[in-house]
Amino acid sequence: MSEHPRPLLLDVDTGVDDAVAITLASRLERHKLVALTTVAGNVPIEYSTDSTLRVVDWLGLDVPVYRGMSRPLVAPLATAREHHGYTGLGSWTPPEAHSRIERATAPEAIVQTVRANEGNIALAFVGPLTNLAVALALEPRLPEMVSKLVIMGGAFFSRGNMTDLAEFNIYVDPEAAALVARAGFDALWVGLDATRQTQLTADDWKALADADEPAEVLVREVMRRSFEEVGRSGFPLHDPLAVALVEEPEIATTRRGAVRVSLEHGSRGETRVGAVAVPDVEHGVADQVNVQRFFRLFGKVCPRLTKD
Ligand code: BDR
Ligand code: CA
């Protein structure tokens, strides 16, 4: 561990790849995971929170978990249980958690954690952006107070996964995403364009068959349903890539510009990066991923999947 790791708050809608992202976030050298906040997304809030607590206990982490928004700002909640299973952890049921939900809500915890670590904290959001939009309403200075914001969301240069144009996290709460895009952050948006380059293949999954280390067992078990029951050939490591880019931004090239989120009927949730007009702010959007370098970092979770 480097001498002064930077605090990291991770917001999740656990979620198969969220569970893997929590694991990676807990094993970084330059960042220390100090808080987990949960949101409704892949599964309803009760399930994303309970699954997060179970993952925390499974990994033996001492990280507070704050429950967040139970629905998007405007739209009704759309879940992705067909991909993540009923509870969010595929077909895996880790032991019931002993850790408990903290008293503060997620938006309050985001504000408090940022205030306590002003200028030094990194934030990563890998679910719908509802908690961040509410936190911004509580503390509009957040953009000046954080050192880094990485968002898994969007489909900027390639097709979406909810509609042809929209990616899941943005589609679920486009109003929140539009607010965040205009808030004044210089964020790094990690869309499907980048995350689809990081496939954990069926062969990778089989290589974990006799794993017994908790992190490798977690990866194997959360993905069992996708590979065994659904018969997928690969699983993109969406949320882990966002966490990896908190630690090592050089893993991906970026394009820069203003990020716009469509709220229009017909293109709702579409994300674009383009020319900056006053008072727009510039963001980065991940583009080409150095996959080998990503998997080298991912070796902290699954040493046997390092692709050298
Ligand atoms: C994103 O949507 C969710 O289903 C995943 O957890 C990831 O955050 C990918 O579109
Ligand atoms: Ca997610």
pLDDT value at residue 306: 84
239 among known catalytic residues: no
Beta strands at 31-38 and 6-12: parallel, antiparallel or unpaired:
parallel
pLDDT value at residue 307: 73
Atom 2 in ligand 1: which residue has the minimum CA distance?
A: 168
Per-residue pLDDT of the chain (308 residues; tens, 9 = 90+): 446 999 999 999 999 999 999 999 999 999 999 999 999 999 999 999 999 999 999 999 999 999 999 999 999 999 999 999 999 999 999 999 999 999 999 999 999 999 999 999 999 999 999 999 999 999 999 999 999 999 999 999 999 999 999 999 999 999 999 999 999 999 999 999 999 999 999 999 999 999 999 999 999 999 999 999 999 999 999 999 999 999 999 999 999 999 999 999 999 999 999 998 877 789 999 999 999 999 999 999 999 888 76
Beta strands at 199-201 and 234-236: parallel, antiparallel or unpaired:
antiparallel
Q: How far is CA 306 from the centre of its chain?
A: 21
Q: Cα(282) to centroid of ligand 1, in Å?
A: 24
Amino acid 84 reads: H
Ligand closest to 168 (CA) is 1
Amino acid 252 reads: A
Q: For residue 46, what are the contacts with CB-CB under 8 A and spacing of at least 6? A: none
CA-to-CA dists, residue 72 to 69, 119, 171, 176, 276, angstroms: 7, 28, 10, 8, 28
pLDDT value at residue 278: 78
Domains of the chain, residue spans: 6-305
Taking CB atoms and a 6 Å cutoff, what residues make up the pocket around ligand 1? Answer: 15, 17-18, 42, 80, 83, 126-127, 152, 161, 167-169, 238-239
For residue 173 the two structure tokens come to 């709460």
Task: Tell me if 63 sits within 8 A of 26, measured CB to CB.
Answer: yes
pLDDT value at residue 1: 47
Which of 22, 126, 192, 270 is the best mutation target for the ligand 1 pocket, counting ligand atoms within 8 Å of the beta carbon and taking the most? 126
CATH 3.90.245.10 matches 6-305: yes
Q: How far is CA 226 from the centre of its chain?
A: 19
